[in-house]
Amino acid sequence: MPSRRIFLAGAASLSLSALLPRLAISQGRKPTRVILLGTKGGPRIGASGRSSPSTLILVNDVPYVVDCGYGTSRQLLAAGVPLNQLRYVFITHHHSDHNIEYGPMFYNAWITGLPIQVDAYGPVGLRRMTEDFFSYLKFDIETRIPDEGRQDPRKLILVHEFNRPGVVMQNDNVRVSSFLVRHPPIRQSYAYRFDAKDRSVVISGDTAYVPELAEFAKGADVLVHEVMYLPGVEALVKRLPNAKRLREHLMTAHTLPEDVGRIAERAGVKTLVLSHFVPGDDPSITDEQWSEGVRKHFKGPIIVGKDLMEI
């Protein structure tokens, strides 16, 4: 009998501990959570510092990944999301700092043991990119399917392309809509808005100042907006051979702090989060410098984003 009692006690504690991690995830937290996975704008990879752009929204513990810059798989793991829980992916536009790990992230989920289908949403080009990724890894994939008894990953991803703004997807927990922003020379560049039951979250994507974005972000609980710091850009381009062209691109395609403040103020968002910092790898720029221009127009709380910060 003592041995049976020990067994029962062991079984009880085992089942309790199996429940605990999930309880720990959900307890005391909002149903809708925002975690910045990568906050550095631009495609250059540094030895240290901010990771490339990606934002995670968890709605009732289901992950919605917006953009897949280099390193997104590792950042998802660092945020506590097992890769085989990947479910929804959204791409704002086809600059590589937003999509270079789109294919690899899905592959990493598949190789971890993907339990369900992934739905991927983004502007035109996404389907072709998905097919091209599978061509790139054709040999590996077609070796592993029979050799390791795996499902065909090409049947586990469903691509939803769009070429105009509107409702992108909707389920019982959230409605996702898109808004066409201005990011020349790319025409198809979008912001996303997630309306969940408890919170609404807007992610600007990459954009120049578009006053109408304030309407799209109206009343949002959280606005994650890109930002470019002009003195930092001047210092950056001085060091580069393509300085003139790069400066022109940055000035026409991104948003200065004052204009981020104007958008947030006009939209009346509850919290403004700065992310996609340009330049994102200059440690001499302080949080105060990133936010001082914004504060001239927006009087609400401003969060200077950091990798893996939860809002």
Would you say 42 or 153 has its CB closer to Zn ion? 42
CB of 151 to Zn ion, least distance (A): 33
CA 119 to chain centre: 15
DSSP single-letter state for residue 183: B
Query: Which residues, including other chains, have CB under 8 Å from residue 292's CB and lie 6 or more apart?
Result: 257
**Residue from the set 33, 51, 63, 97 that interacts with Zn ion by CB under 5 A:** 97
* Phi and psi angles of residue 276, each rounded to the nearest 5 degrees, phi first: 50, 60
Confirm or reject binding of residue 225 to Zn ion (CB under 5 A).
no
254 touches Zn ion by CB under 5 A: no
Give the interface segment with Zn ion, choosing from 17-25, 27-35, 97-105, 110-118 (CB under 5 A): 97-105
> How many angstroms separate the CA atoms of 41 and 191, rounded?
15
Q: Closest Cα to residue 263, out of 217, 206, 304?
A: 217
Q: Is 65 exposed, middle or buried (0-12, 13-18, 19+ CB in 10 A)?
A: buried
Q: Does the protein bind Zn ion through residue 67 (CB under 5 A)?
A: no
Residues 156-215 interacting with Zn ion (rule: CB under 5 A): 206
For Zn ion, give the closer residue by CB, 50 or 95. 95
Smallest gap, in angstroms, from Cβ of residue 208 to Zn ion? Answer: 11
Examine residue 221 and tell whether it contacts Zn ion (CB under 5 A).
no
Least distance from C-beta 97 to Zn ion, angstroms?
4
Which of 33, 40, 50, 95 binds Zn ion (CB under 5 A)? It is 95
Nearest residue (CB) to Zn ion, 41 versus 63: 41
Residue placing its CB nearer to Zn ion in the complex, 99 or 200: 99
Residue 170: exposure state from Cβ atoms within 10 A (0-12, 13-18, ≥19): exposed
* Nearest distance in Å: CB 113, Zn ion: 31
Kind and range of the H or E element at 135? Answer: helix 126-136
Query: Would you say the C-alpha torsion 6, 11, 12, 16 has a positive or negative sign?
Result: positive
Residues 6+ apart with CB under 8 A from 49: 40, 280, 281, 283
User: Which of the ranges 25-33, 92-100, 236-244, 292-300 carries the binding residues for Zn ion, by CB under 5 A?
Assistant: 92-100
Per-residue contact string for residues 23-52; x = within reach of Zn ion by CB under 5 A: ------------------x-----------
Of 184 and 301, the one with the shorter C-beta distance to Zn ion is: 184
Residue 101 engages Zn ion in binding (rule: CB under 5 A): no
Round to whole Å and give the CA distance between 170 and 177. 9
CA distance 85 to 83: 5
Residue 72 or residue 200: which is nearer to Zn ion going by CB? 72
- Least Å from the CB of residue 44 to Zn ion: 11
Interface with Zn ion includes 259 (CB under 5 A)?
A: no
Q: Which residues sit at the interface with Zn ion, rule CB under 5 A?
A: 41, 95, 97, 206
